[in-house]
A and B are shown apart, each in its own frame.
Chain A
Amino acid sequence: MKKIKLFSRYDLLVLIAISAIATILLLPNVFGNNDSLTATITVDGKVVETVELNRISGVREMSLQCTPAVKVRMETGKICVIDADCEDKLCVNCGWLDSDGAMAVCLPAKVVVSVDGTKADSKVPDVITY
């Protein structure tokens, strides 16, 4: 095997490149709208629940029909997976989802919980008058 250095100047380029790509991909998340958050829960590709998170008062819990079992909890403006009957609990570790584009996925159960934000005053009119 050829002698390889620990750190070459090309390594610095690699570091800069991945930081730049990550930053560019993160920009939409930073400028996302958190005025009105909609949570969408899909099981095996089918939407089972769409909730406007800001309209939730108190705590709402939901058990999803899937194997392994997945349980979600919703509070005003946020949603999280509180329990999953699997080994790694990656979706539970995602914690509260409370911003545009946030997402928790349980691969074994094929459950996707995603949060989308739309500006409150765009798209949907508050009142329609004649």
Chain B
Amino acid sequence: MNKKLLTQNIALVGILSAQAIALSYLESLIPVIPGFPPGAKPGLSNIVTMFSAGTLGIWQTLYITLAKAVFAGVTRGLTAFLTSLTGGLLSTAVALLLLRSKNNKLGYVGIGIICAVCHNIGQLCVACVLSGTPELFTSYGPFLLLAAGATGFLTGTILKYIMPALEKQKKFIIKSN
């Protein structure tokens, strides 16, 4: 990657990080969603990380994930940082694998759901370790799993439809010449 392209990538990563952070702040304003387990959120910022995983690259996506976790840490404390980072890294890793693999047969909905499930599993693991209660997996896990099914469906579908806009934004900043 030459210097000019690197600069353009850094600029785009900055913008995408800001968008991811804005989305996670927005959904933190939503109180408890009826029928959803407490703490379950739509995970709209996953749209941004999935886009980055599919069209940019590994370091760009990891940077956005880290930026999200740092924002959670600054605004909501250390536990939020740890849960956001672990969930984010796990879901990012899976998104990178699925979206960049050549023989992926899943659609946006399936990828969205698997990413959401991985995000929740990562967060649940941190919660289990921090609280010392592995029982959380059976008491809270199934509800989180079902919630991930719904939220992943949502984020995957949104990604599909805003893909043109995100691509346009990317082309506006990264000029491949």
Contact in complex: A107, B127 (CB < 8 Å):
yes
Complex Cα distance, B114 from A96, in Å, reads: 31
Q: Which of A6, A22, A87, A108 contacts B145 (CB 8 A)?
A: A22
The yes or no answer to A29 lying at the interface (CB within 8 A) is: yes
Contact in complex: A90, B39 (CB < 8 Å):
yes
Q: Which of A1, A25, A107 contacts B99 (CB 8 A)?
A: A1
* B-contact bits for A19-37, CB 8 A (1 contact / 0 none): 1011101101100000000
Complex Cα distance, B117 from A11, in Å, reads: 13
Contact in complex: A103, B140 (CB < 8 Å):
yes
A interface majority secondary structure: mixed
Complex Cα distance, B146 from A7, in Å, reads: 18
Q: How far is the CB of A96 from chain B (nearest CB, A)?
A: 12
B interface majority secondary structure: helix
The yes or no answer to B149 lying at the interface (CB within 8 A) is: yes
* CB-CB under 8 A for A90 and B106, given A1-B99, A110-B130: no
B residues less than 8 Å from A11 (CB atoms)? 106-107, 109-110, 113
Q: Which of B82-120 contact A (CB under 8 A)?
A: 83, 99, 102, 104-111, 113-114, 117
A residues less than 8 Å from B143 (CB atoms)? 22
Q: How far is the CB of A11 from chain B (nearest CB, A)?
A: 3
Contact in complex: B130, A107 (CB < 8 Å):
yes
Q: How far is the CB of A48 from chain B (nearest CB, A)?
A: 14
Contact in complex: B108, A103 (CB < 8 Å):
no
Contact in complex: B135, A7 (CB < 8 Å):
no
Complex Cα distance, B132 from A45, in Å, reads: 6
Chain B: number of interface residues, binned into ranges: 35 or more
Contact in complex: B110, A8 (CB < 8 Å):
yes
* A-contact bits for B149-177, CB 8 A (1 contact / 0 none): 10001001100100000000000000000
Complex Cα distance, B132 from A108, in Å, reads: 13
Contact in complex: A101, B145 (CB < 8 Å):
no
B residues less than 8 Å from A5 (CB atoms)? 107-108
Query: Can you name 20 A-B pairs with beta carbons within 8 Å?
Result: A2-B102, A4-B54, A6-B109, A6-B157, A8-B110, A10-B105, A10-B106, A11-B107, A14-B106, A15-B149, A15-B153, A18-B117, A18-B148, A28-B138, A87-B77, A88-B76, A93-B38, A105-B133, A110-B132, A112-B131
Query: Which residues on A are within 8 Å of B, measured CB to CB?
Result: 1-2, 4-8, 10-11, 14-15, 18-19, 21-23, 25-26, 28-29, 42, 45, 86-88, 90-91, 93-94, 101-103, 105, 107-108, 110-112, 114
